[in-house]
Amino acid sequence: MSIRNLRGVVLGAVLMILAGTGGYSAMARDRTGDYLVFRGIGGYSLVDDVTQTSSGTLQIRNDKDIVGGMALAAGYDWAAKGVPIRTELEYHHRFRMDFDTRVVGGTAAGFENQLKTDALLANIYYDFKPRGGFKPYLGAGMGWVRNTSEVDRVPLAGTSKEERSDTKDNLGWSVMAGVMYHISEGWQFEVGYRFIDLGKVKSGPFQDTTIMTADSYVSHDLILGLVYRF
């Protein structure tokens, strides 16, 4: 998906939120309030504030990528008790992001990082009053994030490469906006946008003692979800 198409879907979701001001009726009135949701994630992801500890000069080769992921969440819809709030616990996994750097001078080498992420987040949502089967929402989340760097250090002189894997645990946070669509009894479809701060990324020390760090890893996510309400 191109960045232009991603922006178009996000804008459409925001316009739906602004339009969703009709009368509120609890769609989950006859249900327990418990729900499960499977989400597909497509993110425009960026790393920033990159530093390294060697005596050479850092060059950023690639610090942006389109990243896919999947999520599973279990939650409770307090609309069953007359309150337009949902709370949930979400686990998600993000697949490979290509984050590549090079150090020129000293023990010159390229660093090819295939970055993946696991996260466990506590989310809370405010549901607006539904209109015509559409129910917009706003939300926020916070929780544990682990960024795993699988790095090939390739010396520019052509000698054998070095491979290593490192993890960095972080406190992550996010804000969300989107809309739920009532498909049938018990089933809903979700389209949403999420900005998420995934914390820091770190790899090393390598054989030449270099440590590579990115102080910021964020993503602009398009979320598509399928919800089952018990």
- Per-residue pLDDT tens over the stretch 104-153: 988 899 999 999 999 999 999 999 999 999 999 999 999 999 999 999 99
**What is the rounded distance in angstroms from the CA atom of residue 138 to the CA atom of residue 120?**
19
Please provide residue 7's backbone torsions phi and psi, each rounded to the nearest 5 degrees.
Answer: -65, -35
Closest by alpha carbon to 41, among 83, 93, 79?
Answer: 93
CATH topology of domain 3-20+34-229: Porin (2.40.160)
Residue type, 21: T
Closest by alpha carbon to 108, among 169, 153, 141, 62?
Answer: 153
- The owner of tokens 């009894």 is 185
Q: Is the per-residue pLDDT at 176 higher than 80?
A: yes
pLDDT band at residue 20 using 50, 70 and 90 as cut-offs: very low
pLDDT band at residue 17 using 50, 70 and 90 as cut-offs: very low
Q: Enter the pTM of the model.
A: 0.85
Per the prediction, the chain carries an average pLDDT of 90
Percent of the chain with pLDDT over 70: 87
The secondary structure of residue 25, as a DSSP letter, is -
